[in-house]
A and B are shown apart, each in its own frame.
Chain A
């Protein structure tokens, strides 16, 4: 089955950019979605279809997808951005939705 690999953790100082990666075989051929989850809360969608933002999501969040790596970039990180971030794709060959293992973003 299709596997998505994320780094367990990313730490960044306030005001600096954060980049969270999501690796997968030929992931460029899939649409990647990104979710933010804060402690004790449900996930929420922050980027869909590689680089689109839902209504109400700040433009500090952006996404990219190329070759075997997709990425979520948060420019000018704020304390309120702390949480877990998950990438997700639809794997057509297995007809499964697949999540990455998640990345914990810490703002120093």
Chain B
């Protein structure tokens, strides 16, 4: 069974940093592209970042480019999201997902971790 478990959310200050982790199990992690998607309270889904299986291809939404960094450790079956220069508008539930391919659908999702940015 595919399992994705996010952690690392919590309260961050404007201008501060947080690091999210997503631990994967139940599939060959090193073969899959992984994605982060966020959802602000009461709002829709917003794509954040995608990383290919070998980290060669990395993409970011314009709203986070230059502030967030996605990475992965295939030996640890984990993907990360380093979030710097946090803003109030980064407040959201952050979901990690497994992608069918670099440009394909996200076929499995974690339950999400809440990030709140406030002073």
Chain A residues within CB distance 8 Å of chain B: 1, 31, 33, 35, 37, 41-45, 48-49, 54, 84, 86, 88, 90, 92, 95-102
Contact = CB atoms under 8 A, between A and B. Distances in A.
A95 B45 contact: no
A86 B104 CA distance: 15
Given A1-B62, A42-B111, A42-B112, A99 B47 contact: yes
Interface of B: 35, 37, 44-47, 50, 59, 61-62, 95, 100, 103-107, 109-112
Given A88-B105, A97-B35, A43 B59 contact: no
Given A43-B45, A99-B45, A99-B46, A49 B109 contact: no
A37 B112 CA distance: 13
A51 to B, nearest CB: 12
A98 B37 CA distance: 11
A92 B102 CA distance: 11
A102 B107 contact: no
A33 B61 CA distance: 18
A31 B104 contact: yes
Contacts of B62: 1, 96
B44 A45 contact: no
B44 A102 contact: yes
Given A35-B45, A43-B109, A48 B95 contact: no
A29 B62 CA distance: 23
B50 A97 contact: yes
A83 to B, nearest CB: 13
Contact of A90 (B61, B103, B107, B109): B103
In the A-B complex, the 5 residue pairs with the smallest Cβ-Cβ separation, listed nearest first, are A33-B105, A90-B103, A48-B105, A97-B47, A102-B44
